[in-house]
């Protein structure tokens, strides 16, 4: 991990309040893998104070570019959305452990389950899995049709289902409903999204080989502040812990308390 000033080479609004940002860098890009995140400084000064954790959606090592997708809504992310092509942003990263592509063998089938702003890190993961000869199935859940993004991009990589909670696009229901109703079979689950969705996945498929990417409010992003600590499952002492920023954000199903 390093701190680098990266240049904005593209900034696009791709869904309701959702932006795709392409950053040009030097060294940082070469270190990044699927499922890791960046800690982005959205202003020059101290207001807002903290960096914003944003997951990496795709990595282009040839061009030295990273694409991130984030939802603007709070003050800090709105400031990021107002940045223009050519502006520089200070980026700390790449952070976190990333999704383990090696957990799935060539010829096997992986289901990638994304929820809302948890969808982006699955895109680079999907590309890496496909490159390894793994069949990918995407199940992407959103609140409504206005929130949907990257459907075509995922479709290019493999079978893709979109579900919306209000039924305005794709399947009406949850990602779990889609998997059950379509009878989707798989060898590995990879997922990122809101905690209730991750819990539902763990409850539905407790014995499956699977990896869940968690989200939490963070201070430092590098393991020093202990803000994003979570409990370990089946720990009788109650004091065993994992840091989401450095031990995660990706954990195996059954590893930590959701």
Partner 1 sequence: MSRLNMELPGLSMRNPIMPASGCFGFGKEYAKFYNLEKLGAIAIKAATVETRFGNPTPRVAETSSGMLNAIGLQNPGLDSVLANELVWLEQYDVPIVANIAGTKTEDYIEVAERISKAKNVHAIELNISCPNVKEGGITFGTDPKVASELTKLVKEVSSVPVYVKLSPNVTDIVEMAVAVEEAGADGLAMINTLLGMRIDLRKRKPILANGSGGLSGPAIKPVAIRMIHQVSQVVSIPIIGMGGISSAEDVVEFFLAGASAVAVGTANFVDPFVCPTIIDELPGLLDELGVEHITELIGGSWK
Return binding residues for FAD: 52-55, 69-71, 76-77
Sign of the C-alpha dihedral, residues 205, 208, 210, 212?
A: positive
- Is 49 a binding residue for partner 1 by CB under 8 A? The answer is yes
Burial group, residue 224, by CB count within 10 angstroms (0-12, 13-18, 19+): exposed
Is the CB of residue 135 less than 8 Å from the CB of residue 146? no
Instruction: State how far the Cα of 165 lies from the Cα of 118, in Å rounded to an integer.
Output: 15
- Is 116 a binding residue for partner 1 by CB under 8 A? The answer is no
- Is 252 a binding residue for partner 1 by CB under 8 A? The answer is no
Binding span for partner 1 by CB under 8 A among 42-50, 114-122, 166-174, 180-188:
42-50
User: Is the Cβ of residue 138 or residue 243 nearer to partner 1 in the bound state?
Assistant: 243
Binding span for partner 1 by CB under 8 A among 6-14, 19-27, 49-57, 98-106:
49-57
User: Is the Cβ of residue 10 or residue 226 nearer to partner 1 in the bound state?
Assistant: 226
Is the CB of residue 164 less than 8 Å from the CB of residue 143? yes
CA nearest neighbour of 171 among 137, 202, 140, 138: 140
Binding span for partner 1 by CB under 8 A among 24-32, 38-46, 128-136, 156-164:
38-46
Burial 72-82 (b: 16+ CB within 10 A, else e): beeebbebbbe
User: Is the Cβ of residue 9 or residue 241 nearer to partner 1 in the bound state?
Assistant: 241
CB of 173 to partner 1, least distance (A): 24
User: Is the Cβ of residue 75 or residue 180 nearer to partner 1 in the bound state?
Assistant: 75
CA nearest neighbour of 54 among 209, 218, 168: 218
Q: How many residues bind partner 1 (CB under 8 A)?
A: 33
Instruction: State how far the Cα of 84 lies from the Cα of 205, in Å rounded to an integer.
Output: 43
Q: How far is CA 127 from CA 53, 120, 160, in A?
A: 22, 12, 14
Sign of the C-alpha dihedral, residues 187, 170, 201, 72?
A: positive
Q: Which residues are annotated as a binding site?
A: 52-55, 69-71, 76-77, 220, 225, 228, 245
User: Is the Cβ of residue 41 or residue 138 nearer to partner 1 in the bound state?
Assistant: 41
Residues numbered 211-230 forming contacts with partner 1, rule: CB under 8 A: 216-230
Q: Which residues are annotated as a binding site for [2Fe-2S] cluster?
A: 220, 225, 228, 245
Per CB under 8 A, residues contacting partner 1 are 1, 3, 41, 45-51, 76, 90, 92, 216-231, 238-239, 241, 246
């Amino acid at each position: 991990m390093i701190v680098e000033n990266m240049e904005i080479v593209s900034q696009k609004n791709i869904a309701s309040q959702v932006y795709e940002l392409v950053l040009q860098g030097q060294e940082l890009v070469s270190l990044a893998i699927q499922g890791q995140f960046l800690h982005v400084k959205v202003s020059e000064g101290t207001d807002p104070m903290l960096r914003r954790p944003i997951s990496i959606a795709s990595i282009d090592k040839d061009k030295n570019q990273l694409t991130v997708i984030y939802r603007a809504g709070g003050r800090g992310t709105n400031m990021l959305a107002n940045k223009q092509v050519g502006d520089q942003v200070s980026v700390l990263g790449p952070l976190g452990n990333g999704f383990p592509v090696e957990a799935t063998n060539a010829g096997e089938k992986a289901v990638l389950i994304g929820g809302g702003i948890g969808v982006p890190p699955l895109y680079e993961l999907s590309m890496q899995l496909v490159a390894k000869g793994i069949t990918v199935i995407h199940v992407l859940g959103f609140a409504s049709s206005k929130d949907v993004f990257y459907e075509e991009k995922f479709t290019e990589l493999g079978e893709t289902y979109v579900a919306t909670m209000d039924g305005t696009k794709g399947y009406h229901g949850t990602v779990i409903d889609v998997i059950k109703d379509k009878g989707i079979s798989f060898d590995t689950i990879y997922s990122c999204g809101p905690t209730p969705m991750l819990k539902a996945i763990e409850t539905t498929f407790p014995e499956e080989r699977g990896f869940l990417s968690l989200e939490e409010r963070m201070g430092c992003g590098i393991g020093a502040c202990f803000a994003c600590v979570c409990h370990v499952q089946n720990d009788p002492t109650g004091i065993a812990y994992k840091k989401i920023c450095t031990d995660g954000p990706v954990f195996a199903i059954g590893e930590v308390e959701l």
